[in-house]
Amino acid sequence: MSRSTGRPTRRSPRRRTSPSPARRTPPAARATFSTGGRRFRVADGTPHLPCGLPERPSVTSYRESPLMTSQRSWGRRALFAAATAAIALTVVAGAATPATAAAVTNPCAAKAVFIGVRGTGAPAGSAMTASGNAWASGGHGLVANLARDYSTQKSFPIYVESLAYPASSAYATSVATGVKKLRAEIGYINRTCGGKTKIVLAGHSQGADVVLDTLVALTPATGKNLVVSASVFGDPSYVAGQTYNAPGSGKANGIIPRSAKERTVLRTYTFRDADGATRSRIRSTCAAGDWACQAAPMNKRSVAIHNGYNSSAAANWSYGVLRRS
């Protein structure tokens, strides 16, 4: 009742409002995923990238693994995994590299051991070596040309093999396994050959990440000084302006840039050249427009660039470093 008029007070009807667009939209479709300052639309709880995002790797198994010194987040690696899953079937596999058994039957009898590390989705090799960490035939992916160059050159005996690791789209887990395997293989060669046989590494895409993560983790006691050269192509962790980048490489960073701490370690891989200059034992090649090492938009062109490296181009540089080691 109104005290002034004595009449019943009319209450205004409760205004019914239609649900806001946000309420009508399923939460999963509205969510976003943020990494490295970039935000991505999420559907069903996974970043919206081609072919979706594979199951997340365990954060604990990646971040706390003593084998992985990388400080990059699992989320950024997960984004790269989604993209590599989208192009896994487009990877151009090099022809199987012939086993070196006919030329060098024992890695300790060689001047150096070449270890190739393939990229995501590239075919596995065959003929497991005695260490259980590598294949004696095939499994090199896009560094097959470089492997073939080493297996057929006659200047000095080279034992050629490839790393036996998953190279799968479960990126963080696959890289961690690759680093574990590569460290174990380098340690095996160091122990078995008495620290006398040199090691030459090469990797493409995920394989490049494995190679460089391994170099970051190595110490003189675990074979760091045995690695005379490392050639990598299309590294998703590429950072422009590094002393170990190949001449003419891209001016942008990759999709998961390597940390400053890691880059500092990689710059310690040097040798003294004949002219007295200090040069890097690492050469990271990254072409402009590569979707992985330049974070370019992923399309047919950027995928073709990523899968179009000719690893033979690094042969002369790698040979030169090996000869002077």
Q: Which of 30-39, 74-83, 157-166, 315-324 has the weakest average pLDDT? A: 30-39
As a whole number, mean pLDDT of residues 97-103 equals: 45
Q: Report the percentage of the chain scoring pLDDT > 70.
A: 68
Predicted local distance difference test score (pLDDT) of residue 123: 97
Predicted local distance difference test score (pLDDT) of residue 239: 98
**Quick check: 203 pLDDT over 90?**
yes
Predicted local distance difference test score (pLDDT) of residue 5: 53
Predicted local distance difference test score (pLDDT) of residue 275: 84
**For the chain, what are the domain ranges?**
59-323
Quickly state the pLDDT bin for 72 (edges 50, 70, 90): low
Measured at the CA of 87, the angle between CA 171 and CA 165, to 5 degrees, comes to 40
In this predicted model, which residue has the larger pLDDT, 66 or 233?
A: 233
As a whole number, mean pLDDT of residues 274-284 equals: 92
Q: What's the pLDDT tens digit per position in 148-193?
A: 888 887 778 899 999 999 999 999 999 999 999 999 999 999 999 9
Q: What's the pLDDT tens digit per position in 33-65?
A: 333 333 333 232 322 222 222 332 332 222 223
Q: What's the pLDDT tens digit per position in 243-265?
A: 999 999 999 999 999 999 999 99
Quickly state the pLDDT bin for 199 (edges 50, 70, 90): very high
As a whole number, mean pLDDT of residues 222-239 equals: 96
State how far the Cα of 196 lies from the Cα of 160, in Å rounded to an integer: 16
The count of other CB atoms within 10 Å of the CB of residue 178 is 27
Predicted local distance difference test score (pLDDT) of residue 80: 57
Predicted local distance difference test score (pLDDT) of residue 104: 74
In this predicted model, which residue has the larger pLDDT, 312 or 210?
A: 210
Predicted local distance difference test score (pLDDT) of residue 46: 28
The count of other CB atoms within 10 Å of the CB of residue 131 is 18
Rg (the chain; Cα; Å): 25
Backbone angles phi, psi at 75, to 5 degrees: -65, -40
In this predicted model, which residue has the larger pLDDT, 64 or 26?
A: 26
Predicted local distance difference test score (pLDDT) of residue 300: 95
What CATH fold (topology level) applies to the domain 59-323? Rossmann fold (3.40.50)
Beta-bridged to residue 284, according to DSSP, are: 232, 245
Predicted local distance difference test score (pLDDT) of residue 105: 76
In this predicted model, which residue has the larger pLDDT, 306 or 38?
A: 306
**Which pTM was predicted?**
0.74
Q: How high does pLDDT run on average in the chain?
A: 77
In this predicted model, which residue has the larger pLDDT, 255 or 12?
A: 255
Candidates 254, 229, 223, 256; CA nearest to 244 is 229
Most confident segment among 41-55, 85-99, 240-254, 301-315: 240-254
Residue found by looking up tokens 């095939």 in the block: 138
Expressed in angstroms, the distance from the first to the final Cα of the chain is 101
Measured at the CA of 129, the angle between CA 194 and CA 145, to 5 degrees, comes to 95
Beta-bridged to residue 117, according to DSSP, are: 203
State how far the Cα of 220 lies from the Cα of 202, in Å rounded to an integer: 20
Pairing of strands 227-233, 282-285: parallel
